[in-house]
Structure 1
Amino acid sequence: MLMLGFFLLLANLILDKKHSGDARASSFLKILELIPHTSRPPRMLFVENVVGFETSDTHMEMIDTLTKSDYVTQEFILSPLQFGVPYSRPRYFCLAKRKPLSFQSQHNNNKLLWSPGPLYGRDDQVEFDKCQAEEGSEHLLQSCEPVEKFLDSTAQVNGEPSGFDESENGSRDCDGQEEDDTVSDSAHQYLVPLSLIERWGNAMDIVYPDSKRCCCFTKSYYRYVKGTGSLLATVQPKVKGKESCLKQQRLRYFTPREVANFHSFPEDFEFPKQISLRQRYAMLGNSLSVAVVAPLLRYLFGSSPVSTTE
């Protein structure tokens, strides 16, 4: 199977709004160009990308190439929230099979769906043109496990936050850039310096152990506090949120092990000792959600009758 991920490369293209005009798209477009000319085209394809790719000209070229090469596609926009994980990370996925192979739910061919229903043989598919993503629905969030189920017990911090500042955790710039990215066994290295809370508290996404949702972690998490992922309040106030004093909530970053938990990595997963803290966060921010990808791959590789009508 040929894996057409390139989700990092194309994510930048979407954000820059250059689409296929960006030189960084050349490798992906080259693969698309080669598919029709291969003597033995891959029987199945799996594509993952950021949300927004589905409206790009690169996406149009991909679908056109696959259609002309006798592939049938089913597209999804899914998030771990839909699989019981309190982690908002919606991503675009395209599954493709080359005829005469076919999908189990053939009535979803050439559709873009926002629901994982077809992966489990259900008919609760939600088409893109009929409904927006259901991530914000209260029903969906209630079905998720609380954040505390994904925490690392060894990362609990004792002591007062007032005794922890930039000088004890490496210097950061005004956006929260970490210069000392060594890995240690001290849980205190994950506490958010008070100076960052004072200056950037309004831009922080704060979650609590009983929260049912946290924001997507990016490769810049721990280096920057703005827009890179949620922070955990280790002391829960009477009134949650920024109405209460953030300094007293003893905010900390989620550890790499905890971020891996939100990605549904196995319990025995661990990084090699030589991988720095910054590298760990970067690789996790660029990784996939196992909870989402696993059922997609099972569905892709699932046995299906050979189509006689296509």
Structure 2
Amino acid sequence: MSTSGKIRVLELFSGIGGMHLALNELGIEYEVVAAVEINDMANRIYRHNFPSSNLLQKNIEGITAKQIAKFDPNMILMSPPCQPFTRSGLKQDVGDKRCLPLLHLMKIVPDLPRIEFILLENVVGFEKSDARNQLTDVLKKIGFCIQEFHLCPSQFNIPNKRPRYYMLAKRNSDFRFLSAQSLQTQFPEDLIKEGGFLAEVHQKVVEKCDDPSSCFKIGKILEEDSTENSSLAEKDLKFFMEFDLVGRESRLSGCFTKSYKRYFLGTGSIFLENFDRLKEVDTSTANYQAKLSETLKPRFFTSREILRLMCFPEWYTFPTDVSSKQAAAVLGNSINVHVVALLIGLLVM
């Protein structure tokens, strides 16, 4: 795959570097001219994996168009805070102070004529927000064509639920394969099937599948020799049957959130080493937790396993002093690398 030249990328709300990894997976010529993130933990992890990158720890509200122009980017990749658009964040939308950096960007992007491409990731529901409406109005006025998506990794043979909203914006150019007027809920399959221009990118996921029409099995991402403590205490099994339970043969896992390993319900899946023995456990008996723990061997997914489900490369690591709970928290705020890589490919084609 090739583009007309090296893409110069400004990575905003850069987190732990998921967008950077997506560029790398896509295989285009690129340079991350600057990455901007205010969170200290995320920045420590980003620096650990991208030590030579120009990482700026600062509030995006303080960045001017003139400062951005000095980096001379032609692409912006960003994943702004999602809390203003979630139920737990009270859906305050543009009234939430965490939305201020995005509102600031809307003000300065008209003064950045060199920007050709923009990709934004957020939670499903962002498409109904005032923030989205204001952003699309600004971009359309300065000549951007916009294509929006709802996509989930499970649509790409990846056994993980993580539905997300994506906005692609391209200046003075239509999207060749899609209608630019509607929200798409499917990625164009002809582009990732054999012969499609993104097929090679998607092939490494397909290779894990025993059935190309389905997700690969959870067993493909398991870490057999991990030293990470991922066990569940017996007291944590009180609400066991309400957990999202998966085994080696499962082809889907729950969405891992920043609360995984702190809370149990709705934060991500629990792995059962002996999933096939689930019917042997009678949760109506007294002290069933001990029997359950012994028979099924339930545990959390390890940090490496979650990284694999989110399509991070094997060379990507956390600093040794980052705990598994801290790792889960930052991963819960990150992206699926493979899905974003394919979308960047669609954006620059």
Q: TM-score range by the shorter chain?
A: 0.7 to 0.9
Once residues 302 and 192 of structure 2 are traced to their aligned partners in structure 1, the CA distance between those partners, rounded to angstroms, is: 36
Contact 1:233 1:249 in 2 (8 A): yes
Is 1:217 matched with 2:256?
yes
Please give the alpha-carbon distance, in whole angstroms, between the structure 1 residues aligned to 2:159 and 2:99. 32
Secondary structure of the equivalent of 2:225?
helix
8 Å CA contact 1:119, 1:296 repeated in 2: no
Query: What's the offset of the Cα at 1:53?
Result: 0.6
| Structure-1 residue corresponding to 2:224 | 153
Alpha-carbon distance change, 13 to 224 in structure 1, aligned in 2, over 3 angstroms: closer
In structure 2, the residue matched to 1:194 is 234
Aligned to 1:103: 175
**What 5-or-longer segments of structure 2 have no aligned partner?**
1-74, 194-210
1-structure distance, mates of 2:100, 2:243: 36
Partner of 1:263: 310
Q: Contact conserved, 1:119 with 1:299, CA < 8 A, in 2? A: no
Shift of 1:16: 1.2
SS at the partner of 1:77?
Answer: strand
2:145 maps to 72
Aligned Cα RMSD in Å?
A: 2.5
User: Which of 249, 264, 277 pairs up with 2:296?
Assistant: 249
1:200-259 CA-partner distances (Å, limit 9, x unpaired): 223311111101101011111111112210000111234569877743311100000000
**Match status 1:204 vs 2:204:** no
Q: How does 1:1-150 map to 2 (within 5 A)?
A: 1-12=75-86, 15-36=89-110, 38-99=111-172, 101-105=173-177, 107-117=178-188, 120=191, 143-150=214-221
Conservation of the 8 A alpha-carbon contact between 1:14 and 1:53: no
- Corresponding residue number in structure 2 for 1:159: none
State percent identity of aligned pairs. Answer: 32
Cα distance in 2, alignment partners of residues 25 and 252 from structure 1: 36
What SS does structure 1 have at the residue aligned with 2:118?
Answer: strand
Quick one: distance in 2 between partners of 1:234 and 1:49? 33
SS of equivalent to 1:299: helix
Q: Provide the TM-score with structure 2 as the length reference.
A: 0.66
Which 5+ residue runs of structure 1 have no aligned equivalent? 123-139, 156-184, 303-310
1:172-191 CA-to-partner distances (Å, cap 9, x unmatched) read: xxxxxxxxxxxxx3x5x211
Q: TM-score, normalised by structure 1?
A: 0.74
Q: Distance in 2 between matches of 1:240 and 1:62?
A: 51
Q: Distance in 2 between matches of 1:96 and 1:234?
A: 44
